Amino acid sequence: MRNRVIKLGKVLGVAHAEAIDVDSGEVICIARHTKYMPTSLLLKMLLGPLMPLTKIMASLATKENTAEIGKEAWLDKLFQFQDIAANKQCGRINVVDYHNNPMGVCHGGSQALMMEMLGHKAATDGLVATSAPLLRSISVTYLSPGRGALDLGVVPVVSDKYSTSLCVKIQSERGSLVSEGILTFITGSIIESKARL
């Protein structure tokens, strides 16, 4: 991983990250993260000068729950969906401690993984016109804290001969929108044309 802060202001912070293949040295994935910066005085202290103490407290709070998972756990074990519909377009997941950030709400990275996993299940079950859909990009907007059981739903947005975009929404049990993601999959025609080159 290689990352850098692009901008850090009073209202927004923007970071850029790249995942690099260890063997080839090639960049295989990039991410851009925009964060709303204003927080309470307590949070500023916990994430500022008291950050070493915050890390220790967070590791102690989650130690018992993460021990059983282990380093080599599969994502399907970490994110266990329930009540997945036959068409794979909706499902539910119970948020547990290892999905959360130190503030006790579902971490944005956990939500993005949930979206990708259910979105891929729906795509391979017929929402994308290829037998092996390839995820090209994902963009996630976070709207409210996620706790307890979260419901996910997938709907197609737009499709052409080169790609299909799906919208994955995460809602609380009460129906409040927690986050929304747009996943774009490359379709078979462009995959096949690249393979011929």
Tens digits of residue pLDDT in 114-159? 999 999 999 888 788 777 888 999 999 999 999 999 999 999 998 8
The pLDDT confidence band at residue 5, using thresholds 50, 70 and 90, is confident
Report the sign of the C-alpha dihedral through residues 59, 101, 85, 175, in that order: positive
11 located within any domain: no
Residue 194 burial (10 A CB sphere; 0-12, 13-18, 19+)? exposed
119 located within any domain: yes
C-alpha–C-alpha distance, residues 26 and 18, integer Å: 10
Q: What is the pTM of this model?
A: 0.74
Higher pLDDT, 71 or 107: 107
47 located within any domain: no
C-alpha–C-alpha distance, residues 143 and 128, integer Å: 27
Residue 166's domain comprises 70-197
Number of folded domains that form the chain: 1
151 located within any domain: yes
97 located within any domain: yes
The CATH number covering residue 137 comes to 3.10.129.10
Instruction: Catalogue the E-assigned strands of the chain.
Output: 2-8, 12-20, 27-36, 81-82, 90-94, 134-142, 149-159, 163-172, 177-186
Task: Report yes or no: 193 and 134 within 8 Å, Cβ to Cβ.
Answer: no
Higher pLDDT, 63 or 10: 10
| Cα angle for residues 93, 97, 98 (degrees, 5° grid) | 85
State pLDDT tens for residues 29-53: 888 888 777 777 887 787 778 878 8
Q: Which two tokens stand for residue 33?
A: 């993260």
150 located within any domain: yes
The pLDDT confidence band at residue 188, using thresholds 50, 70 and 90, is low
191 located within any domain: yes
